[in-house]
Amino acid sequence: METVPVLVHVDSPFINFRDFGFGEGSHGYRWIDATRFQLSSEVLDDRDVLAALIAHPQFRNTYDGAGVQDWPRHGQWWLDRIAPDAYETVDAVRAVDVIHSWANQHGDIPDSLASRLHQEVYIPIREATSRYLLGQLPEDAFHDYGPIHIDYHELVLIDRQAATLTLLVAADD
């Protein structure tokens, strides 16, 4: 009998702040990458779901423009240094605050970007049944050319009702 994968990649929408008119403000070369998955109906606890995410080929992205590769890196870190316990449980208020504070760090953002963040980031955060924030990893977790981002925030949103998982990475170039 064939096993059903825990996570099936659906899509990876990308929000590039450069695509919005900041006027006198600064887009700060910031962006948000959302990697979305369908979650299997198999009942797994959240730590097992996080382990499935870490093991998924779509997790091998350094967010440096090279895309998903078959290499032992994720973000700025060696893949083998990331485990489910590296993620801390956060509530919706904290998760929204992490992204909102980061997005507005250089002043107000354009209304069109605020609207898109509301629809594609803040609503999914609030609707998720659980949320995880990647915590501080040790210095030796940085891979051979990391860190490459000034700011880097990573959230995992699990929505059991919708049977989805979203990996949100908010960073800058």
Strand partners, 162: none
pLDDT band for 22, please (50, 70, 90 cuts).
confident
- The predicted-structure confidence for 124-137, as pLDDT tens digits, reads as follows 999 999 999 999 99
pLDDT of residue 108: 86
- Residue where the block lists tokens 């891979």: 143
C-alpha distances in Å from residue 103, one per residue of 15, 31, 46, 119, 167? 11, 9, 28, 15, 17
- The predicted-structure confidence for 86-119, as pLDDT tens digits, reads as follows 999 999 999 999 999 999 998 889 999 999 999 9
Rounded-to-integer distance, Cα 19 and Cα 150, Å: 20
pLDDT of residue 154: 97
Asked if residue 147 has pLDDT above 80, the reply is no
The first and second tokens of residue 47, run together, are 């730590």
- The predicted-structure confidence for 28-87, as pLDDT tens digits, reads as follows 789 999 999 999 988 789 999 999 999 999 999 888 776 778 888 888 888 999 999 999
pLDDT of residue 99: 98
pTM: predicted TM-score of the whole model, two decimal places: 0.93
Question: According to CATH, what is the number of the domain 7-172?
Answer: 3.40.1000
Cα torsion 39, 44, 47, 51: sign = negative
Domain boundaries defined on the chain = 7-172
pLDDT of residue 1: 46
Rounded-to-integer distance, Cα 134 and Cα 167, Å: 11
Asked if residue 146 has pLDDT above 70, the reply is no
119-130 core/surface letters (b: 16 or more CB in 10 A; e: else): eebbebbeebeb
C-alpha distances in Å from residue 43, one per residue of 59, 85, 162? 21, 19, 14
